[in-house]
Structure 1
Amino acid sequence: MTTDEGHLAERARLLADPARTGRERRTALARLTDDWLTGLYRTAGAPAGTALVAVGGYGRGELSPRSDLDVLLLHDGPLAPELAERIWYPVWDSGIALDHAVRTPAEARKVAAEDLKAGLGLLDARHLAGDPGLTAELRSQALADWRSAAPARLPELHALGRARAERHGELSFLLEPDLKEARGGLRDLVALDAIAASWLADAPRDGLDAAARTLADVRDALHLTTGRATERLALQDQDQVAEQLGLLDADILLRQVYRAARTVAYASDVTWRAVDRVLAARARRGRRPARLGLPFHGARRAAPPAERRPLAEGVVEQDGEAVLAQAARPATDPVLPLRAAAAAAQAGLTVSYATVRRLAAETAALPVPWPDEARDRLVTLLGAGEACLPVWEALDAEGLITRLLPDWERVRCRPQRNAVHRWTVDRHLIETAVRAAALTRRTSRPDLLLVAALLHDLGKGWPGDHSEAGEVIVRDLAVRMGFDKHDTDTLALLVRHHLTLVDTATRRDPDDPATADLIAKTVGNRTHLELLHALTEADATATGPAAWSSWRASLVDQLVARTAARLAGVPRPPADEPTADQERLAVEAARTGGPALALRAHAEPADGTGAEPVGVELTLAVPDRPGLLGTVAGVLAVHRLTVRKAGLRELDPAGAGPVLLLTWTVAAEYGDVPEAARLRADLRRALDGSLDVARKLAERDAAAPRRPGIRTPPPVVAVAPGAASRSATVLEVRAHDAPGLLHRIGRALDGAGVRVRTAHVSTLGAEAVDAFYLTSEDGRPLEPDRAERVAQAVREALEGR
């Protein structure tokens, strides 16, 4: 066995040893690699005046299983080219990734001055073999260069970090995070070390080393699980990575990763603010020292004392942060953390690191129930909107939030394995409060709106329906916070029913009197309705772009308006009249006996930033006939059109006979939406039987290559309670969206011989949530037994039976 083969065998034994894990294994792997490279250097016959140096991650003395080797061959004079090749080739042959360079000290410093990444790598230079004096001299000069150039290089490093965060997102909120590049990841730890090396500032160290170990351990497990040098913790690998680390499941893994990332991100924020303050102070003084961080000798004017501006009792502003006044006494003022936080947020500031640390260490617990000022300050903090976020993060980092709200710990860093949600549960709650702050003018009780927004998903830390669990939690918490019985009941109602409005608006017929009656009975009065309306919008917009749209907003608005009229005793407004274009299509369909169709581009605010095209609005009028819904949906599926949302209603234009009006928003799976004439022709063929839609779809599915897909829960098909409608049977369908889904549902309903009076179809992320108002041939609601048979038929169609 050659030396290289022996090294690879020893490396494999080390990585397979269950007793060697974590930092111990990374250190052992680095030492094993050191010995191997030192042997290669010596075998190559390196002359005097040369040195082999580890830089970058390898220079820090820890190696992950698939880490690159960053190595510099240093020399102080002419060097034969074949020397480097005799060192590098065995590494290449081993399959281990190598990032190498051959330079003189002067060349290495020049490259570092021009290339920030190379400069950072030299800060971790570590001698491996050869002339140690050469390595020591380079390291000393590189550190001196870094410190002298820090005022220019650190802003550049900060800008790169912000750009990286824009590209890769925040590690602590991503379902598939990049452990290295995302904000709060391993790359930020390198930046913090570089700041410390500049002597300009240092990061808060509490918990930082443990966070670094967690992220590195997870990356090790990811490398061993995948066998690749990947930094992305993909969903399909998370269970195996968790098992590799001895964790119960992937959720526990993600929570550990998120906690570590938040520690790193918060430390980065604190440190960069310190850097900015120091650089700003130096710029004001108009001088640049030769060595940053070192005291100056000789005569100079004393710096003027920092200006302190009062913000609230015991709280002042200093250097752009909220700090405690000299007379503040946290030990005797339990409301001080909330007062400082509210004052900082309202002023657009954050609370200084030293202040938050002192508050966490010295402040006594709030009495139970809370004093009125504590509730008022909490509401003031939440009402600051976006400015609340950095303040909340600072309090959360030091444990002050869980001290105020003990149930917060259950949702802190809790992942939401749902593509619609963009945040962890705790961040979603504070984001909801931020959005609710913009809606407080719509209700007479903005305090209850903001508190309900903050607490509405606390039940997600408990088993069962999170709305029901949340109601119990919030009742207890509201009493603790000092709310009276009436306000406690209101908060409990808002939490229990925070999904009711949007669910009802998208799954029930708004023209059915029972729909508004149901909401009126739920809320009880106009104030509750206003609060629930605002909370619904705040919750949905804080969830993510897929959870809210102008269409959903309009449905909720209509439902709220009708419920408000019902509560006020005003006669119910008539159903929305068809537009002139819809009436024209209905008359044409009744006159010709065939489909009348119109297409137009459809746009709506996709992410709250402006109108973007999201599909094509298809309006279709067809004389009522059996099999219509499944046929039309099948034609759309043949043309690879995805139904984003759909509505179906019956018209009788000028007494010419019933015509079904379908208004759907569709989008092409890829390519463009076909022309209206082509769609109309295929609809005619499908309706007269010359186009077999089901066969077309079956042939296409059979020809399509089979690809592995994600596992999804089985579809749920249920008959809604009788109170959902007095004039029809409501069938609810929840399923993972797929091509032809609506076609399969329609065919099952057609086969069951029921009439679809109205339909409300929506696609939320990757999930379809549909409601169909069904009647028998004589226009009456279905008998219970028949309704269950219809539900079973739809269920079997979706399950492929």
Structure 2
Amino acid sequence: MTSTDVTKEAEDSGPSGYAAARLRLLTGGTRSGPPRRAALAGLTDEWLSGLFDAGTAGLRGVSLVAVGGYGRGELSPRSDLDLLLLHDGGDDKAVAALADRLWYPVWDLGLALDHSVRTPTEARKTAGEDLKVQLGLLDARHLAGDLGLTAALRTAVLADWRNQAPKRLPELQELCAERAARQGELQYLLEPDLKEARGGLRDATALRAVAASWLADAPREGLVDARRRLLDVRDALHLATGRATDRLALQEQDQVAAEVGLLDADALLRQVYEAARVISYAGDVTWREVGRVLRSRSVRPRLRAMLGGAKAVAERSPLAEGVVEQDGEVVLARTARPDRDPVLPLRAAAAAAQAGLPLSLHAVRRLAATARPLPAPWPAEAREQLVTLLGSGRPTVEVWEALEAEGLITRLLPDWERVRCRPQRNAVHLWTVDRHLIETAVRASGFTRRVHRPDLLLVAALLHDIGKGWPGDHSVAGETITRDVAARIGFDRADTAVLATLVRHHLLLVETATRRDLDDPATVRAVAEAVGTEGTLELLHALTEADALATGPAAWSSWRGSLVADLVKRVAAVLAGDPLAEPEAAAPTAEQERLAVEAFRTGGPVLALRAQTEPAAGPEPAADPEPLGVELLIAVPDQAGVLPAVAGVLALHRLTVRTAELRSLPLPDGVDGSVLLLDWRVAAEYGALPQATRLRADLVRALDGTLDIAGRLAERDAAYPRRRGAGSPPPRVTVAPAASRLATVIEVRAQDAPGLLFRLGRALEGAGVRVRSAHVSTLGANAVDAFYVTGGEGAPLLGEEAVSVARELEELLRA
């Protein structure tokens, strides 16, 4: 059935016919797109026009007007109908009766309706008071009735908008900025709002309004297509959910992707991000142009007066060869020849970032259209300009985005295409892969004074995740790509090898520091062998911190920083030639001895809580040092079930475990047995820490079996149900080979949940192994834990036995 047939069916059957025709149109197999939106708008036009004609009964001076999205003829399946009943102020009762005959059939069909009844004067007055109303009227479209009345209103509203543009456009810009602050940036969100987020449909509408003001215009290349793609996705979202939602939730993304003909949810998000990036960049350029025009209007009369009426000419200040500043932007000099100067794009970008100024749209497009490709390997100046750009701090982001919008980045670095707009389905990451790489370079620029080769640090920051566009381990793929890119950029063999090592091992320090026993010589020796030199270790330390800071708040903390710094110090000593001594059992501190004696004397657990802090960085000491967590010392006569009991009690009190070490202390001569000493770092999930006396009381009950930890945790989960791990990958438990000569290291990767450490501890106890230490790390919703375990005699587990224990843990977590 064609759209004409559908319209005819609606006309013949009234409201019920319209509903049936509407349903047929939306479910008839036609994919989301402009034709279906136009057909739905046309179908609705005919129906409403019929209602209007039937209700006027000779009434004159009245018209029905579509505004907003409906006025643009773009109806999504669950869009509101934005309608204005316009009248000349004649018969108010007849107009009110007509309004009832229009609005009630819409409501009866369950359609969302945004309606108003106004005279032209009232409409203009309301628009002058409410910016959103004025924006809606800019798209006013006549549906039925007095065409002259509608046309006069449109003409007046457009004239008002253009006359008031110097005042209203700053208001519109502020409205867009406030919305962006609330909703975030569409191009980076895993569950974006297609309409309200920055770079979404609201911003596209705002750009149309700016163009209608005749004060400035948006870059048009790609803008219409970007807006269409977002509308297509919203159509599919409405059909998938059956609701008028603009939030692209994770659980709907695969279905929406199929509806718009894409492979999967990642392909969908990438297309959404690309569209949002086009709209965001157009917005940046447009609002910059609006500001420039408004400034020139306020300054030019004064300049002309000072110059005696002569025409003012914008001053041009040189920044670099072929690059100048003009009117707050970086432009190309009149003598610049991009077709003869292949380094000019990088030189202009570096100059703009160093000056903290935007690259003009005209300059970027000229460079994209005429710049000659760089030879391979790059000349030294090109490599230096790239390093300067990357080391310019926060201004690098805006300049890089301008180059990327016109395709210059992928021309310089072809491998960039695979990571461009690539989503990262990990709550820890704030950015897409490409933006994360730039953010890492921005963070690394703050560390360039603490390394001997800042150029290598900045380039490694740019490339460290470049392998995420390829299958397999992104660090391994990234090493190969980095060797190729580094050679093309012009680094020599030695520097290329260092860059490849940094990319290959960019996760080594933080993963080792948080998941391995730093007192085990095998841990330090393995890192030293991987890094190779002190210079590379220095760079890797800075890259590790920059990478984590650029990832998001959950990826870095003072605790993680202190562990990494400790590891770096130990590895540096080995690389400097200091012998690596075999570990000896550390002598207990006076505090630990006191607790052990008291535990022996009382026959029960003894606890002590002590805050751990470090001073903030800087020349002046901080008034309040940053907490690293709380040290929890527990001494208890050695017995079965201590690990799960302690972990369970801490879970009941909502304490997060960061590290956990366990060891036995012998009792005085002549006394059989030993005292188990637990030295843990914990932090409150929220609220204040519980008192040590309460922890001890619950631990006593847990050890004697009178506290049902599993039952209590289950009751709490039932009382406060939380969705956990919807769509998350299954848990994985592995044995790390050769990670230690003193114990077997079992690694657990699973969805974090209250009581997870309790369950793991109970399973390890049930398997008959002893936990020497545990290194617990939580990244977003992911728990990454490593347990150093031994058999009953204190020796590492045999191969098959270790694999069996790992398999049991994995089965437990999957249950």
Per the TM superposition, whether the score is higher than 0.5 is yes
**Distance 1:135-1:694 versus aligned 2 partners, 3 A rule:** closer
After superposition, residues 125-524 of structure 1 pair within 5 angstroms as 125-286=140-301, 301-524=309-532
**Equivalent of residue 61 in structure 1, options 69, 73, 77:** 73
Q: d(CA) in 2 for partners of 1:330 and 1:711?
A: 50
Q: d(CA) in 1 for partners of 2:329 and 2:396?
A: 14
Contact 2:746 2:806 in 1 (8 A): yes
Q: Give 1:749's aligned residue.
A: 764
User: Which amino acid in 1 is paired with 2:38?
Assistant: T
- Indicate the larger mover: 623-632 or 35-44: 623-632
Contact 1:587 1:653 in 2 (8 A): no
* 1:584 to partner: Cα distance: 4.8
Residue deviations 1:111-133, cap 9 Å, x none?
10110000111111111111111
**Equivalent of residue 593 in structure 1, options 587, 590, 603:** 603
**Distance 1:403-1:635 versus aligned 2 partners, 3 A rule:** same
Q: d(CA) in 1 for partners of 2:216 and 2:612?
A: 53
Residue deviations 1:493-550, cap 9 Å, x none?
1111111111111111111111111111111110010011111111111111111111
- Indicate the larger mover: 570-579 or 204-213: 570-579
**Distance 1:705-1:447 versus aligned 2 partners, 3 A rule:** closer
Residue deviations 1:187-243, cap 9 Å, x none?
001110110111100000000010011000000000111111100000000000011
After superposition, residues 576-591 of structure 1 pair within 5 angstroms as 584-591=594-601
Q: Give yes or no for the alignment of 1:42 onto 2:56.
A: no
Q: Give 1:765's aligned residue.
A: 780
* 1:15 to partner: Cα distance: 1.0
Contact 1:14 1:20 in 2 (8 A): no
Tell me the matched-pair count: 787
**Distance 1:397-1:274 versus aligned 2 partners, 3 A rule:** same
**Distance 1:439-1:212 versus aligned 2 partners, 3 A rule:** same
Instruction: Provide the secondary structure at the position in 2 that maps to 1:478.
Output: helix
**Equivalent of residue 693 in structure 1, options 702, 709, 733:** 709
**Distance 1:386-1:64 versus aligned 2 partners, 3 A rule:** same
Q: d(CA) in 2 for partners of 1:258 and 1:368?
A: 32
* 1:314 to partner: Cα distance: 0.3
**Distance 1:337-1:727 versus aligned 2 partners, 3 A rule:** same
**Distance 1:227-1:602 versus aligned 2 partners, 3 A rule:** farther
User: Which amino acid in 2 is paired with 1:111?
Assistant: T
User: Which amino acid in 1 is paired with 2:637?
Assistant: P
TM-score by length of 2: 0.92
Q: d(CA) in 1 for partners of 2:101 and 2:587?
A: 84
Q: Give 2:650's aligned residue.
A: 636
Instruction: Provide the secondary structure at the position in 1 that maps to 2:74.
Output: coil
Q: Give 1:293's aligned residue.
A: none
**Distance 1:303-1:504 versus aligned 2 partners, 3 A rule:** same
Q: Give 2:634's aligned residue.
A: 620
Instruction: Provide the secondary structure at the position in 1 that maps to 2:339.
Output: helix
Q: d(CA) in 2 for partners of 1:614 and 1:8?
A: 62
Q: d(CA) in 2 for partners of 1:615 and 1:126?
A: 62
Residue deviations 1:681-712, cap 9 Å, x none?
11011112332434544566678769685032
Q: d(CA) in 1 for partners of 2:600 and 2:390?
A: 56
**Equivalent of residue 122 in structure 1, options 118, 137, 150:** 137
* 1:658 to partner: Cα distance: 4.0
Q: d(CA) in 1 for partners of 2:469 and 2:615?
A: 32
* 1:659 to partner: Cα distance: 3.3
Q: d(CA) in 1 for partners of 2:344 and 2:723?
A: 58
* 1:782 to partner: Cα distance: 2.2
User: Which amino acid in 2 is paired with 1:625?
Assistant: Q
Instruction: Provide the secondary structure at the position in 2 that maps to 1:331.
Output: coil
**Distance 1:61-1:737 versus aligned 2 partners, 3 A rule:** same
Contact 1:603 1:614 in 2 (8 A): yes
Note the aligned Cα RMSD (angstroms).
2.7
Instruction: Provide the secondary structure at the position in 2 that maps to 1:687.
Output: helix
**Distance 1:579-1:351 versus aligned 2 partners, 3 A rule:** farther
* 1:569 to partner: Cα distance: 1.9
Q: Give 1:3's aligned residue.
A: 14
Instruction: Provide the secondary structure at the position in 1 that maps to 2:170.
Output: helix
Contact 1:647 1:758 in 2 (8 A): yes
Q: Give 1:677's aligned residue.
A: 693
- Indicate the larger mover: 482-491 or 639-648: 639-648
Residue deviations 1:232-275, cap 9 Å, x none?
00000000001111111111111110000000000000000000
**Equivalent of residue 17 in structure 1, options 12, 16, 28:** 28
Instruction: Provide the secondary structure at the position in 2 that maps to 1:350.
Output: coil
**Distance 1:579-1:540 versus aligned 2 partners, 3 A rule:** farther
Q: Give 1:292's aligned residue.
A: none
User: Which amino acid in 1 is paired with 2:636?
Assistant: V
Contact 1:321 1:351 in 2 (8 A): yes
Q: Which runs of 5+ in 1 are unaligned?
A: 289-295
**Distance 1:579-1:260 versus aligned 2 partners, 3 A rule:** farther
User: Which amino acid in 1 is paired with 2:526?
Assistant: L
- Indicate the larger mover: 248-257 or 683-692: 683-692
Contact 2:638 2:664 in 1 (8 A): no
User: Which amino acid in 1 is paired with 2:729?
Assistant: P
**Distance 1:20-1:589 versus aligned 2 partners, 3 A rule:** closer
Contact 1:583 1:653 in 2 (8 A): no
Q: Give yes or no for the alignment of 1:648 onto 2:658.
A: no
Contact 2:657 2:680 in 1 (8 A): no
**Equivalent of residue 721 in structure 1, options 713, 732, 737:** 737
**Distance 1:695-1:153 versus aligned 2 partners, 3 A rule:** closer
User: Which amino acid in 2 is paired with 1:650?
Assistant: R
Q: d(CA) in 2 for partners of 1:271 and 1:580?
A: 68
**Distance 1:579-1:133 versus aligned 2 partners, 3 A rule:** farther
* 1:651 to partner: Cα distance: 6.4
- Indicate the larger mover: 191-200 or 695-704: 695-704
**Distance 1:603-1:65 versus aligned 2 partners, 3 A rule:** farther
- Indicate the larger mover: 676-685 or 249-258: 676-685
User: Which amino acid in 1 is paired with 2:468?
Assistant: K
**Distance 1:799-1:413 versus aligned 2 partners, 3 A rule:** same
Q: Give 1:785's aligned residue.
A: 800
Instruction: Provide the secondary structure at the position in 2 that maps to 1:407.
Output: helix
Instruction: Provide the secondary structure at the position in 2 that maps to 1:472.
Output: helix
User: Which amino acid in 2 is paired with 1:328?
Assistant: A
Contact 1:602 1:615 in 2 (8 A): yes
Q: d(CA) in 1 for partners of 2:311 and 2:593?
A: 78
Instruction: Provide the secondary structure at the position in 1 that maps to 2:56.
Output: coil
Q: d(CA) in 2 for partners of 1:577 and 1:363?
A: 68
Q: Give yes or no for the alignment of 1:662 onto 2:674.
A: no
TM-score by length of 1: 0.94
User: Which amino acid in 1 is paired with 2:642?
Assistant: L
- Indicate the larger mover: 539-548 or 656-665: 656-665
Instruction: Provide the secondary structure at the position in 2 that maps to 1:469.
Output: helix
Q: Give 1:109's aligned residue.
A: 124
User: Which amino acid in 2 is paired with 1:495?
Assistant: V
